[in-house]
Chain A
Amino acid sequence: MSLNDPNSASATHASSPNDRSEQIRLAKTPAEVTAAINPSTKRRLWITLSFPLALLFAVPFWWYVTSIERLPLPESRISALENATLPSIRPKILFTADIDAFPPPPPGRAQFEHKVILQTLAEEVSRGVDGIYVQRRPKKERGWDIVYDDDKKNPTPLRMHIRRWEHANTSWPLEPYVQASESGLMTSGLEEGTLVIPIHPSQIGDRFLKQHYKIAIINSLLGLYPPDPPEIPLRALKYSPNITLSFVLLNEDASEGSYVRSWDIESAIKEHFLPHIEPLAPIFNFTIESQLLYQAPLTFEPTYQSTDRADNERTIEATVEMAKNSEEDVQAIAKEIADEQVQKAWLIDEEQMKVFVNSERWSLDSGSTNNPVLRFLLYVPAAKHRPMRLASPNSAQSFLLPQFGGVALLNPPSSTPSSQTYRLPLSALTPSFHLFTQHLYSLLALPPIPDKIHPSPPPTPLHAPSGLIQPITRWQVHQVLLARMKENSEEARKTLVGIVRLVEKIKEMKVGEGVRGKVIGAVERLEQLSSNQSALEMFVLTRDAVNLANQAFFDHSMMGLLYFPDEHKFAVYTPLFAPIAVPIILGLIKELLAERKRRAAKRQPSKVPTDVLTEQVEVTGPVAKKIEVEAEKVPVADTVLLETSGGSVESESTAVEGRSLRSRSKR
């Protein structure tokens, strides 16, 4: 550090160091020299202030760089949604009838128009249903209207028809059914999914025909279109657009022989599952996988004991009934009873059912997707564990595991030799898959077809009636849509409210454009819901809303990857900021004090000190006074260049020396 340094920053910046040294040389008194080489007070203050000012100007940049982006969320819209109720929809039910389903008017009476007859009937039905709902506690409301002409542009899926049919039951009451899909030459000509009230031609003349119609229609509609959509029970899966169904046949131990080595799974799925899941395509996207396990040991040993006595008694009663009917077999049946009574089985009690599925050891699904999986397990016990039964009072052969799937036991006949292997044809799988279908309804919260609705009859009596569960109807799909729509919209609202609360609570959480867009998308979709949309349109909106809300909730960008606690930041910044802050603050304090002193001196002009040094150098306290005094005492003395900072005096000594010598010689 040379003397030129302070000089260059001094007042007359236009002048070169040479000029200044000239000035100094020309200066006669120490005060003049001091004034010549030092900047003015104002300039000095500016220099001192420039550092904090620079830091101050850097603050916006620092703020911009370190701040967390938190875009505003539409909080008021979300809270409005939170309290809003789901708009109710009133679908239209198209009501038609065969032209000759009503008796011709007696001669002389006016012939009413077909539509008018339907209208009066429908009005009575609506009134009847309303009357029933009014009596319910809490009160319910009818969720549909009956129309007589279809809207060509968007036809309603729900239809109702009175069919005059020669194969209908001739007795009362009427037996309404929902038309199943038909194929072949002989079809009813009715659209699949129509609620049909069949009437035999002989019944049309009945006096109470209208009452019969009314009762049949009211009963069917009460069952098919309940006032509230079905609840989603806890055992059912939460809504997810993609669902995997995994069918697994488990042999307890194939290495001991007598095991199932193949099964006709494709036909079983085609016959028992596809009719029920294909109509659900707008709601769920299913994938199916199946596998066969040859080794699936149990983790526990079932107990070998006789089956439930109550069960036996029932069988005895049943056989007694049978014996009554067929006299000649009494002997054989009596023997069978005796056998039944001593029959023992490997029983699985309720506790064991809970641990039955060993999902760690049995690979029950491929795990190739993140979809929720429903597993349907068909368990074939090893020969040493046959017959295996569930120790349940109603001798069920299957049990349901909530949110997981269903298990059915399959005991191969005991008569076959042990070395034998089996191939299960469709007929052998039917009972189990019948149960699996029921499990599917239960696990997906699909409403079963109401008891009042009869199974769809075959097109003609020539066909054998199907023993299968009737495929899911439009009426049921409609209820599923309503139930899932309700579930989704509640879920979406809950998630949105959760996001708002979370963002409010955690101040460091980032809310970027992506998250905001997703939240707004979800809010918009929920706001778009209105009662003049179809159930499917509304369902799609809520499905997308819940999807977007979940995406926003689980967005990665919301959690900062690097999170430093405040202590950490202080620990890193302090070594930098503390040493910088000290000279800045001290410098400012000094300048301020000097300024105050100058002002005080100006106010009392009588006391203006003659010595420039004491005025300019910020010397405080008794030391300053002493120097002042000494200066007065000794008017002319050797002068020494003073440096305000204490550092590196030694190194400067030679330079200072030259100056001071020169200045002295000048004098």
Chain B
Amino acid sequence: MPRLDATDLRERMARDLPGAVLEAVPLQVAAAPAHGPQPGAFMTSDTLVAPSRLVEAACYLRDLLGYAYLSDIAVVDYLADDLFELVYRFYHVEGGEGLTIKVRIPRDHPEVPSLTPAWPGANFHEREAFDLYGIVFVGHPFLRRIYMWDEFEGFPMRKDFPKQGDKYIGADE
């Protein structure tokens, strides 16, 4: 059973894919509580990869390290830092802990290369991220809304999406 942790992965990727691994910057999580201590900075221990090298890094995980099972793609909207973070989670088929790589992209230009051509399992994950967060996956074969209807405007999971009184409900109701 392979035993790689985040530190090993960062070292290996820094050696084999020079320039792909970025130095993680602590994140300010938004939404400070009304009272009580202010939340501290949030420092990830996972590997942060440059968006342009994402496909390369993912294929490195699969083809050289054997982490072939892409379990999950999650998007987090860090409004205070003005960025989206994408969390890709990979597992080895023989078991053991998974490896996580993260990608940070600016909120005003949310573009990232698609994994779907290399990894068909990413298809619905990416469509969901596009639908709810408006992340554009360049190279996705069928990037359409998956939950909301096609004419829907806006991306409902973004932190700045209005929670009340949108045009579909009506102002007075």
Whether chain B is bound by chain A comes out as no
B→A interface (CB under 8 Å)? none
A→B interface (CB under 8 Å)? none
